[in-house]
Amino acid sequence: MPLPFVFKTVICPIHRAGWPFVAIFVVATAGLWWLATPLGWIGVLLTLWCIYFFRDPERVSPTRGGLMISPADGTVHVIDEAVPPPELKMGDQPRPRVAIFMNALNVHVNRIPCAGKISTISYRPGKFLNASLDKASVDNERNSVRLVLENGQDIAFVQIAGLIARRILCDIKVGQTVQTGERFGMIRFGSRVEVFLPTGVNPLVAVGQTSIAGETVLADLKSQEPTRHGETR
């Protein structure tokens, strides 16, 4: 296997939000090593896990107009219809929703689903229930974004904190023009991201499918293909 490929796929850059945590783990590991060598090895393993958690690999995003791309790594947990968060003022009409559950081993850097302009960003404090629970969408801490697409349609994507996720990071601003697959934030230590599609657009993923942020196509605004179903094989 060529060495450059190994560096790109195994040895990944670390998101800037992770460096303070890596530093804390390194200092703690040094202290544990001073106390007892076995504890030091535990610290080394935890430090390596911290580096792994904050990895930020490059992704190849499809750029054809109309494609909606996954904003998160993880498992497609829910596909249904739901009303977007009320703070985004997108009306009370249910829209197709795709919810992606991110466990503690997934890449947690989030990416823009589709090119457009940020219309609204709204942060709402809340609980820290298990992100795999349906009520987490309503009760948990969340950061909601409304994005106006280049064709005038709008979508929403929501970062939802989980059981041990205590910090939502969002680096975009209202009025900012963004591109498909562009990084916009992350959620620390297990979480959920939801995408609300335009009315009448069918998701092209299935429940249980693994999604890759910036690469997996969630929907195609130009397609009339019905919602897909999947089987475990």
- Percent of the chain, pLDDT > 90? 48
Q: pTM of the full predicted structure?
A: 0.85
Domains in the chain: boundaries: 3-53, 67-220
Predicted pLDDT of residue 5? 46
Residue 229 has pLDDT above 70, yes or no: yes
Measure the CA–CA gap between 118 and 228, rounded to whole angstroms: 29
Catalytic residue numbers read: 191
Structural tokens at position 48: 């390596």
Q: Which pLDDT value is given to residue 6?
A: 47
SS (H, E, C) the chain: CCHHHHHHHCCCCECHHHHHHHHHHHHHHHHHHHHCHHHHHHHHHHHHHHHHHCECCCCCCCCCCCEEECCCCEEEEEEEEECCCHHHCCCCCCEEEEEEEECCCCCCEEECCCCEEEEEEEEECCECCCCCCCCHHHHECEEEEEEEECCCCEEEEEEEECCCCCCEEECCCCCCEECCCCEEEEECCCEEEEEECCCCCCECCCCCCEECCCCCEEEECCCCCCCCCCCCC
Among 120-129, 151-160, 178-187, 203-212, the range scoring the smallest mean pLDDT is 120-129
pLDDT, average across residues 167-187: 92
HSE toward the beta carbon, residue 24, CA cutoff 13 A: 7
Question: pLDDT tens digit string along 46-77?
Answer: 888 778 777 888 999 998 888 999 999 999 99
Each residue's pLDDT tens digit, 129-175: 666 667 667 778 889 999 999 889 999 999 998 766 567 889 999 99
Whole-Å CA distances, 81 to 75, 85, 102, 142: 18, 13, 20, 19
pLDDT tens digits along 7-36: 455 566 777 777 777 888 888 888 888 888
As assigned by CATH, the class of the 67-220 domain is mainly beta
